[in-house]
């Protein structure tokens, strides 16, 4: 367990961090611990284990009483208010949003509100860096660290930014792209939707506005939650202008004394930027060496030779955010006199408060040191001058002047190197009128009390955890008799609160029947392929204690059909009805969105031909669409016949559907409109200006794959005798390969289908296959993912063990479902998967997959299936999701299979 001590409002509090999440934050830990900067090692507030508490407390106490005029990047790492809520919603904006529930304000790290994250309107494309999430910090901040997380939404979400860039601005108009010390802009982001990844900004930035811009190497769905870490920029320095740094040639090295992280313009001189003189890193005594790994000699310093400055001085102008009362300027200078480098011998500073420079400058001459070669801060008293700009001329004491840091103290504001947080809304670090000594003492006492409380809290937490673990382990051993389950069970326990929604929802659903009976959450066809796993899961020994409701008080009806919100089902069954709804925002969004690939089609140009089927939303009709080509996005035209009248499938929402059903329908449209692949069913146009809402898709002549294969037989004697229609093994593989190809496309978008099965694939002419029914993925951005009355109704026979037990849906769980679909295909859909098992036994079998004691039952090898292909199927059902093949591999394998 990791424990995280943090000071809020001057009182140190202890946060018990989610162990799963914290252990996956190496950047954070190393960021605090492994810094080579001597300042930084003192201020470690992350404790690896509870036995480190005393040590950490000592470390903590040793760092209490320091205030400084200089920002310390090792300490300046406070969350700036995305996760803590101090940043207001109106200060978080974005280039676009997918829907109201994925607006910018949901982009807060560790928040699960709305649909769980900020998601931009469109798929992020590699060559299109338009999308960003923007934070306005309201004042300048020194930002040292950024944190990102994807959209997890309790196991439903799976969108994250694998890479991103940062842009920042101090004034809201000039935007600067952040680059690391090697000049690279792209930051590696998340690898999954739930872990927080923290990245040091090296170099840190001074900014008021920050933009996170997701970057991808292929077009994909991206969602982000973010946090900024740092502290307020008390210097108020907005830019410095100085002559460009120069190059020194000494016998051993060429020393580059340029300002390599300057973020303004550099031509002959540097203008309107900040850089190494304000990055918080002081150079070493030996200027040829650096704190920073893998950089060139002289990296920490900006330096000038007197040969280029006939006046004998270097002039630097500093611009500030407002008029300030300046007390001191601290200039960190190198003094390696053996190399003709010395701190300045004299400085003359001019002040400007309004438009004009003051006539009388301030002069100061520090003593020149010919004995001690160590680098040092030279304080220059500024005698309470009021100014918004200062221009200083630093006179050479030797051939070279080398500065690594310049800071300003004004208005008595000081950086606190203790744990006191700096964010507005919390107590300021030091009030101008406060007595600093008193302030430090007071804060010391408060922090000490906080530490003691924290330690007590840690001890209590440890005892509780130990006891809890023991009880849990005993239970496990007793029930399963296998000690090696403990580790995995811990992981389940740690995630069950967020992902194991079924059992909790079940109990709440069970007790609040009336409350929820009017709530439409998701309507499924009442087919036997979908079951409610929660009550069945409760019977697994590992999960038995999670059920407050005895399994006997089943909500599953006698026939095995789940107990739906019946009122809704009934209400949704009538197709007539004349409810008129205002066009919801989402619909407007669909039609007005610049990137939308779908247009409104005049309903009167549709002529009904026949009913094709019935789905969860309503009926699907075969219609003739007159002149549909004119209403279609040109990119989609290639598949559509040129005749004036085209046959199309029209999926209609029952006109009396609830508001949620309408929203889900519109969301499915939104998803489908963005999918462009030969093996994904194409949305041609929509009718959403009036009821009933319709989606017009391409017509697939042979209906769904399940029905199609059920009507066919394998080639052979038997088929010949019965005169049945046949499909060759080669064509079966061809169809499976097309499904793999469509899935390859979806997975490249980071898009999880969640309901892959033959019933959700459509068959056209010549065995063409297209994946359809995005009913489950439709709720991609919906927090109430496929629950009816708080209960989940799921295609359990197609689902991976982790989807059933942990609620985890990933491309790897789609791969599991793909192998079940392949199994259906090779069996000509004559049999349901695990037909010999009841639903309860299917869930029990899932428990066996989880336990992995070789007691799990696999679907048997179909008669038509060669050994090599069955082996691939078994690979798809591996317990470890990472060991399952990718859709690329599967696609390749299927193309290669020879009958």
| Residue among 51, 212, 32, 24 at smallest CA distance from 135 | 212
Residue with Cβ nearer ligand AMP (351 or 617): 617
Is 755 designated active site? yes
Which two structure tokens, joined as six digits, stand for 644? Answer: 């004036």
Task: Give phi and psi for 538, each to the nearest 5.
Answer: -55, -20
Does the footprint of ligand AMP cover residue 270 (CB under 6 A)? no
| Those residues with Cβ within 8 angstroms of residue 168's Cβ, 6 or more apart along the chain or in another chain | 143, 175, 176, 178, 205, 207, 209, 210, 211
Whether the CB-CB separation of 503 and 544 falls below 8 Å is answered with: no
The window from 28-36, 102-110, 189-197, 697-705 that contacts ligand AMP (CB under 6 A) reads 697-705
Residue with Cβ nearer ligand AMP (232 or 521): 521
Whether the CB-CB separation of 366 and 277 falls below 8 Å is answered with: no
The window from 108-116, 654-662, 693-701, 885-893 that contacts ligand AMP (CB under 6 A) reads 693-701
Residue with Cβ nearer ligand AMP (769 or 815): 769
Does the footprint of ligand AMP cover residue 703 (CB under 6 A)? yes
- Which helix (H) or strand (E) segment is 747 a member of? helix 729-748
Cβ neighbourhood burial of 535 (10 Å; 0-12, 13-18, 19+): buried
Nearest approach, Cβ of residue 695 and ligand AMP (Å):
9
- Which helix (H) or strand (E) segment is 302 a member of? strand 302-305
Nearest approach, Cβ of residue 640 and ligand AMP (Å):
13
Task: Give phi and psi for 416, each to the nearest 5.
Answer: -100, 125
Site string for ligand AMP, 202-241 (x = CB under 6 A): ----------------------------------------
Nearest approach, Cβ of residue 697 and ligand AMP (Å):
4
| Residue among 555, 615, 260, 617 at smallest CA distance from 404 | 260
Residue with tokens 């998701």: 522
Q: Interaction with ligand AMP in 774-833: which residues (CB under 6 A)?
A: none
Nearest approach, Cβ of residue 517 and ligand AMP (Å):
25
Residue with Cβ nearer ligand AMP (696 or 873): 696
Nearest approach, Cβ of residue 726 and ligand AMP (Å):
21
Report d(CA 256, CA 245) in Å as an integer.
8
Q: Interaction with ligand AMP in 671-690: which residues (CB under 6 A)?
A: 681
Residue with Cβ nearer ligand AMP (458 or 761): 761
Task: Give phi and psi for 390, each to the nearest 5.
Answer: -130, 135
Site string for ligand AMP, 746-765 (x = CB under 6 A): ----------------x---
Residue with tokens 């496990």: 476
Q: Which residue out of 656, 755, 814, 839 is catalytically annotated?
A: 755
The window from 364-372, 440-448, 623-631, 692-700 that contacts ligand AMP (CB under 6 A) reads 692-700
Residue with Cβ nearer ligand AMP (280 or 618): 618
Alpha carbons within 13 angstroms on the beta-carbon side of residue 838 total 6
Q: Which of 704, 713, 814, 839 binds ligand AMP (CB under 6 A)?
A: 704
- Which helix (H) or strand (E) segment is 733 a member of? helix 729-748
What is the gyration radius of the CA atoms in the chain, in angstroms? 33
Residue with Cβ nearer ligand AMP (109 or 661): 661
Residue with Cβ nearer ligand AMP (379 or 613): 613
Which two structure tokens, joined as six digits, stand for 136? Answer: 């306005």
Q: Which of 205, 343, 540, 649 binds ligand AMP (CB under 6 A)?
A: 649
Q: Which of 200, 259, 521, 773 binds ligand AMP (CB under 6 A)?
A: 773
Does the footprint of ligand AMP cover residue 700 (CB under 6 A)? yes
Exposure letters 162-186 (e unless 16+ CB within 10 A, then b) = bbbbbbbbbeeeeebebbebeeeee
Query: Rounded to a whole number, what is the distance in angstroms from the first to the last CA of the chain?
Result: 54
Q: Is the bond preceding residue 203 a cis peptide, omega within 30 degrees?
A: yes
- Largest alpha-carbon pair distance within the chain? 111
Q: Interaction with ligand AMP in 377-406: which residues (CB under 6 A)?
A: none
Nearest approach, Cβ of residue 773 and ligand AMP (Å):
5
CA separation (Å) from 57 to 1, 60, 462, 726, 778? 17, 5, 17, 76, 50
| In the complex, residue closest to ligand AMP by CB | 615
Whether the CB-CB separation of 260 and 274 falls below 8 Å is answered with: no
Beta-ladder partners of 391? 317, 350
Residue with Cβ nearer ligand AMP (180 or 710): 710
The window from 339-347, 354-362, 698-706, 782-790 that contacts ligand AMP (CB under 6 A) reads 698-706
Q: Which of 699, 751, 809, 816 binds ligand AMP (CB under 6 A)?
A: 699
Nearest approach, Cβ of residue 701 and ligand AMP (Å):
7
Nearest approach, Cβ of residue 698 and ligand AMP (Å):
6
Residue with Cβ nearer ligand AMP (527 or 899): 527
Q: Interaction with ligand AMP in 588-627: which residues (CB under 6 A)?
A: 612-615, 620
Q: Which of 679, 697, 777, 782 binds ligand AMP (CB under 6 A)?
A: 697
Report d(CA 554, CA 661) in Å as an integer.
26
Report d(CA 42, CA 867) in Å as an integer.
62
Q: Which of 47, 772, 780, 793 binds ligand AMP (CB under 6 A)?
A: 772
Does the footprint of ligand AMP cover residue 14 (CB under 6 A)? no
Cβ neighbourhood burial of 296 (10 Å; 0-12, 13-18, 19+): middle
Nearest approach, Cβ of residue 615 and ligand AMP (Å):
2
**Number of shown-chain residues binding ligand AMP (CB under 6 A):** 16
Active site amino acids: 755
Note the residues at the interface with ligand AMP (CB under 6 A): 612-615, 620, 649, 651, 681, 697, 699-700, 703-704, 762, 772-773
């Amino acid at each position: 367990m990791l424990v995280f001590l943090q000071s809020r409002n001057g009182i140190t509090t202890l946060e018990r961090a989610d162990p799963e999440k914290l252990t996956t934050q190496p950047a954070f830990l190393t960021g605090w611990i492994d810094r080579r900067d001597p300042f930084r090692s003192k201020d470690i507030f992350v404790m690896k284990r509870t036995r480190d508490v005393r040590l950490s407390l000592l470390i903590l106490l040793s760092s209490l009483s320091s205030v400084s005029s200089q920002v310390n990047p090792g300490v300046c790492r406070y969350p700036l208010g995305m996760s803590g809520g101090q940043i207001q919603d109106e200060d978080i904006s974005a280039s676009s949003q997918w829907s109201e529930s994925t607006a910018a304000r949901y982009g807060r790290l560790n928040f699960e509100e709305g649909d769980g994250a900020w998601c931009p309107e469109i798929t992020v494309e590699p060559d299109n860096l338009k999308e960003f999430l923007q934070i306005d910090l309201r004042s300048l901040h020194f930002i040292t660290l950024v944190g990102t997380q994807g959209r997890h939404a309790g196991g439903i979400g799976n969108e994250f930014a694998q890479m991103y860039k940062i842009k920042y601005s101090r004034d809201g108009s000039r935007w600067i792209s952040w680059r690391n010390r090697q000049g690279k802009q792209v930051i590696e982001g998340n690898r999954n939707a739930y872990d927080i990844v923290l990245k040091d900004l090296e170099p840190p930035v001074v900014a008021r506005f920050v933009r996170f811009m997701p970057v991808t190497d292929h077009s994909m769905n991206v969602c982000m939650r973010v946090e900024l870490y740092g502290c307020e920029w008390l210097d108020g320095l907005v830019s410095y202008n100085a002559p460009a740094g120069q190059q020194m040639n000494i016998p051993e090295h060429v020393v580059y004394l340029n300002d390599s992280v300057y973020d303004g313009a550099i031509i002959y001189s540097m203008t309107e930027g900040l850089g190494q003189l304000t990055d918080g890193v002081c150079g070493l005594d030996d200027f040829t060496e650096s704190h920073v790994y893998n950089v060139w000699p002289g990296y920490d310093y900006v330096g000038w030779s007197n040969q280029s400055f006939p006046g004998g001085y270097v002039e630097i102008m500093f611009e500030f955010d407002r008029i300030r009362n300046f007390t001191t300027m601290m200039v960190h200078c190198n003094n390696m006199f053996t190399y003709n480098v010395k701190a300045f011998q004299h400085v003359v500073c001019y002040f400007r408060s309004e438009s004009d420079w003051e006539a009388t400058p301030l002069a100061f001459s520090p003593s020149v040191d010919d004995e001690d070669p160590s680098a040092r801060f030279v304080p220059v008293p500024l005698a309470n001058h009021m100014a918004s700009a200062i221009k200083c001329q630093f006179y050479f004491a030797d051939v070279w002047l080398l500065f690594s840091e310049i800071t300003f103290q004004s208005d008595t504001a000081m950086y606190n190197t203790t744990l006191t947080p700096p964010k507005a809304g919390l107590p300021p670090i030091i009030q101008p009128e406060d007595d600093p000594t008193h302030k430090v003492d007071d804060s010391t006492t408060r922090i000490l009390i906080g530490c003691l409380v924290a330690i007590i809290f840690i001890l209590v937490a440890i005892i509780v955890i130990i006891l809890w673990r023991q009880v849990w382990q005993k239970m496990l051993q007793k029930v399963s008799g296998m000690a090696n389950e403990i580790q995995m069970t811990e992981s389940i326990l740690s995630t069950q609160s967020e992902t194991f929604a079924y059992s909790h929802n079940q109990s709440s659903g069970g007790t609040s029947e009336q409350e929820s009976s009017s709530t439409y959450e998701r309507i499924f066809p009442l087919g036997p392929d979908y079951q409610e796993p929660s009550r069945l899961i409760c019977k697994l020994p590992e999960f038995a204690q999670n059920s407050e409701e005895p399994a006997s008080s089943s909500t599953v009806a006698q026939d095995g059909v789940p107990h739906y919100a019946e009122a809704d089902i009934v209400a949704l069954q009538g197709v007539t009805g004349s409810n008129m709804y205002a066009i919801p925002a989402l619909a407007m969004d669909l039609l007005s969105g610049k990137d939308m690939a779908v247009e409104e089609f005049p309903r009167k140009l549709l002529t009904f031909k026949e009913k094709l089927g019935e789905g969860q939303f309503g009926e699907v009709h075969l219609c003739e669409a007159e002149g549909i080509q004119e209403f279609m996005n040109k990119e989609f035209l290639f598949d559509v016949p040129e005749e004036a009248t085209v046959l199309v499938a029209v999926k209609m929402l029952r006109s009396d559907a609830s508001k949620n059903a309408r929203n889900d329908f519109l969301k499915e449209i939104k998803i489908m409109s963005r999918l462009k692949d030969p093996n994904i069913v194409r949305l041609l146009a929509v009718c959403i200006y009036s009821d009933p809402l319709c989606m017009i898709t391409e017509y697939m002549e042979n209906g769904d794959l399940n029905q199609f294969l059920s009507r066919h037989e394998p080639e052979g004697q038997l088929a010949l005798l019965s005169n049945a229609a046949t499909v060759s093994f080669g064509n079966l593989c061809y169809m499976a390969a097309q499904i793999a190809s469509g899935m390859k496309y979806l997975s490249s978008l980071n898009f999880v289908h969640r309901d892959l099965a033959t019933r959700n694939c459509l068959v056209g002419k010549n065995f063409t296959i297209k994946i359809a029914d995005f009913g489950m993925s439709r709720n991609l951005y919906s927090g109430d993912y496929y629950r009816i009355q708080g209960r989940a109704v799921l295609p359990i026979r197609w689902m991976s063990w982790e989807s059933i037990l942990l609620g985890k849906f990933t491309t790897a769980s789609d791969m599991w479902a793909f192998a079940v679909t392949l199994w259906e295909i090779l069996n000509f859909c004559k049999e349901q998967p695990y037909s010999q098992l009841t639903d309860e036994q299917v869930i029990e079998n899932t428990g066996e997959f989880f336990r992995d004691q070789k007691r799990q039952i696999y679907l048997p090898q179909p008669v038509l299936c060669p050994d090599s292909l069955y082996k691939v199927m078994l690979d798809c059902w591996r317990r470890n999701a990472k060991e399952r093949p990718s859709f690329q591999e599967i696609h390749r394998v299927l193309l290669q299979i020879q009958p």
